Chain A
Amino acid sequence: MMLALEHVDLVYNAGRADEVVALRDLCLELDRGEFVTIVGTNGAGKSSLIQAIAGSARPTRGRVRLDGRDITRLPDYRRADQVARVFDDPRAGTAPELSIEDNLALAMSRGRRRGLRFALTGARRAVMRDRVAGLGLGLEHRLRDPVGLLSAGQRQSLTMIMAALAAPSVLLLDEHLAALDPGTSATVLELTRSVARELGCTAVMVTHNMDNALATGSRLLVMSRGRVIADLSGERKAQMTVQGLIDAITGAGDSLSDRSALAEAGNN
């Protein structure tokens, strides 16, 4: 077991009229190299789980452990070397005003002390060109272009490369395909699989697309109201159907979000 959440509660606005319980006594253990997909309705706690692992939200109760080390109180920027994250909004993972090479250089310094060394060097540019060329988008010829000129899919692919640069042990994907068109979404999903495989890291992918959730990864979690209500792997995951997943979610008393329903309609 490498990533563990022990009895984690995450409560926003505790004790006030607008109190929201995002995670409720959540226990979860993830092994090294496991690729976990998470489905659930809006408000089920999927993104809160991602934030608790990333460190951008601190649990109200419970522990988060990485390789046995208690990281519950470690702020997001201090676990960024081990926990990489790709956001749902393609604009969130990159700095639009900065060039592609500056964005990549920022990611390359992740996990080491930033000093007065030059951020861009010939050696670093060579690594960048090599990594970016693998995308097949021609970005290796556009390293000096501002990222703001890239399309959503290109930016999400770049964010994926940036996430992989510092060899994290956990890769968090928070609905990172949601803003992409079907074709681009498939390409970025394929990139996600290959990056996770190459890194050998634990990947956690939140998605509203039931097909992707079933077809990707080795384990599937269904969340509802801050808890994991179904944990499928191996044979049970292989035999699960889209309808079965939807039944599991609605059976928990949640109504499917429009987004999931739409994604569903689009796939049938």
Chain B
Amino acid sequence: MVNVLVDMLVTGLPLVPVFLGIYTVFRVRADFDLTVEGSFVTGGAACALALLHGWPGWLSLISGLAAGAACGLVTSALHLLLRIPVLLAGLIMSIGLFSVNLYVMGTPTLSLGTADTLFSRFSSLSYVQAGLATAAVMGGIVAVVLVAFALFLRTEVGLALRATGVNARMARSQGVNDRWLTVLSLAVANGLAGVGAAMTVQYQGYADVNMGTGTFVAGVGAVLLGELLTRPSGSKIIRIVACVLAGTLAYQLVLTSALRIGLPAGDLKGVTALTLVVAIAAERYLGVLGDSARRLRQAAQVRVPRTGQETA
């Protein structure tokens, strides 16, 4: 049991920034960006190369971030210059990046060997202890990312970003340049994917050219799971980051449990798909229940009008 939880943390925490990026495009912007399937690998490859050149672990995280963000910039350039939907631009990128990543890595699987990572000093500890120490470092990085993201959403730019996803016409009429926000959101989302990939690579000790496959679907599944748990909305920012954190860990718990009960690794894609279906079904079904509960609450509020509500 402890092993399952440790596995969940060390494999799940690196995905939190990745899925936060997916949430940014999928929910905040109400769009689909498949670039992440390729930018995740690009970020991981950039991190692996940095480590192999002797860069310290934290600087390699930054290189993952920069590489991912660069992919997002190319996607937004395709979207804006060729006037194609983000979905199509991202699809093109996810396919094209495979070759780019292979060329950058020089080999399908790039091992870190004995390079110093953020987690290599824990290798002498026992499995559970090493896992917990790794999870603590990852948790620190994830906390910084989540807090920074939540604060960003509260800024004027962050508010404009949230508005464009809900009502783009209204945002423009309030002076918001949504083309620039498209660029920003794609760069941020793929930069976050790069950070997550960099953590994954440092933990598992290698970068693989196929490690990004299925990331988008997994992220959407995790977001849907998280939404069941925290019910986030445009102005409830703490719930947004809580949704991504809880959804990612819940999703990863399903996967690691599946592995621990002896399912072969090849079944994981099927488990991911099933998780997605269950999350969507639950969203539909529980959503109806939630709505009627909300209506009941509202009806109660009408009868007993609230007076002098605090606005601290």
A: which residues have CB within 8 A of B? 54, 56, 76-78, 80-81, 84-85, 87, 91-99, 101-103, 105-107, 109-111, 114-120, 125, 129, 141-144, 146, 162, 166
Q: Which residues of B contact A84 (CB under 8 A)?
A: 173
Choice from A92, A93, A96, A105 contacting B159 with Cβ under 8 Å:
A105
Q: Are B159 and A102 in contact (CB under 8 A)?
A: yes
- A115-B156, A116-B156 are known contacts. Are A94 and B167 too (CB-CB below 8 A)? yes
Q: Are A95 and B170 in contact (CB under 8 A)?
A: yes
Q: Which residues of B contact A105 (CB under 8 A)?
A: 156, 159
Q: Are A98 and B166 in contact (CB under 8 A)?
A: yes
Q: Does B176 contact A (CB under 8 A)?
A: yes
Q: Does B107 contact A (CB under 8 A)?
A: no
Interface size class of B (residues with CB under 8 A): 20 to 34
Q: Which residues of B contact A80 (CB under 8 A)?
A: 172-175
Choice from A78, A103, A119 contacting B175 with Cβ under 8 Å:
A78
Q: Does B154 contact A (CB under 8 A)?
A: yes
Choice from A77, A96, A120 contacting B178 with Cβ under 8 Å:
A77
Q: Are B154 and A95 in contact (CB under 8 A)?
A: no
In the assembled complex, how far is the CB of residue A53 from the closest CB belonging to chain B, in whole angstroms? 12
Please give me the residue from chain B that is nearest to A109 by CB atom. B156
- A92-B169, A118-B154, A146-B234 are known contacts. Are A162 and B159 too (CB-CB below 8 A)? no
Q: Are A117 and B156 in contact (CB under 8 A)?
A: yes
Q: Which residues of B contact A117 (CB under 8 A)?
A: 155-156
Choice from A95, A116, A141, A166 contacting B308 with Cβ under 8 Å:
A141
Complex alpha-carbon distance, A111 and B171, angstroms: 12
Q: Does B162 contact A (CB under 8 A)?
A: yes
Q: Does B205 contact A (CB under 8 A)?
A: no
- A96-B166, A97-B166, A97-B234 are known contacts. Are A109 and B311 too (CB-CB below 8 A)? no
Q: Are A111 and B167 in contact (CB under 8 A)?
A: no
Complex alpha-carbon distance, A142 and B156, angstroms: 21
Q: Which residues of A contact B158 (CB under 8 A)?
A: 119
Q: Are B156 and A76 in contact (CB under 8 A)?
A: no
With contacts A98-B234, A120-B154 known, what are 17 further pairs, Cβ within 8 A? Answer: A78-B177, A80-B175, A84-B173, A85-B173, A87-B169, A94-B167, A95-B162, A102-B159, A102-B235, A109-B156, A109-B160, A114-B160, A116-B152, A117-B155, A119-B156, A125-B311, A162-B174
Q: Which residues of B contact A143 (CB under 8 A)?
A: 311
Q: Are A141 and B234 in contact (CB under 8 A)?
A: no
Complex alpha-carbon distance, A146 and B166, angstroms: 12
DSSP class of A's interface residues: helix, strand, loop or mixed?
loop
Please give me the residue from chain B that is nearest to A98 by CB atom. B234
Q: Does B124 contact A (CB under 8 A)?
A: no
Complex alpha-carbon distance, A99 and B157, angstroms: 16
Q: Per-residue CB proximity of B187-225 to A under 8 Å, as 1/0?
A: 000000000000000000000000000000000000000
Complex alpha-carbon distance, A120 and B162, angstroms: 14
In order of increasing CB-CB distance, the 3 nearest A-B pairs are A80-B175, A97-B234, A99-B235
In the assembled complex, how far is the CB of residue A163 from the closest CB belonging to chain B, in whole angstroms? 9
Q: Which residues of A contact B234 (CB under 8 A)?
A: 95, 97-99, 102, 146
Q: List 27 A-B contacts (CB under 8 A).
A: A56-B169, A56-B173, A76-B172, A77-B176, A80-B172, A81-B175, A91-B167, A92-B170, A93-B170, A94-B170, A98-B163, A98-B235, A99-B234, A102-B163, A106-B160, A106-B163, A106-B171, A109-B159, A109-B175, A110-B175, A115-B156, A116-B152, A116-B155, A118-B155, A119-B155, A141-B306, A141-B311
Complex alpha-carbon distance, A101 and B162, angstroms: 13
In the assembled complex, how far is the CB of residue A78 from the closest CB belonging to chain B, in whole angstroms? 7
Complex alpha-carbon distance, A81 and B173, angstroms: 9
Q: Which residues of A contact B123 (CB under 8 A)?
A: none
- A102-B234, A119-B159 are known contacts. Are A107 and B174 too (CB-CB below 8 A)? yes
Q: Per-residue CB proximity of B68-97 to A under 8 Å, as 1/0?
A: 000000000000000000000000000000
Q: Are A76 and B173 in contact (CB under 8 A)?
A: yes
In the assembled complex, how far is the CB of residue B18 from the closest CB belonging to chain A, in whole angstroms? 24
Q: Which residues of A contact B175 (CB under 8 A)?
A: 77-78, 80-81, 109-111, 166
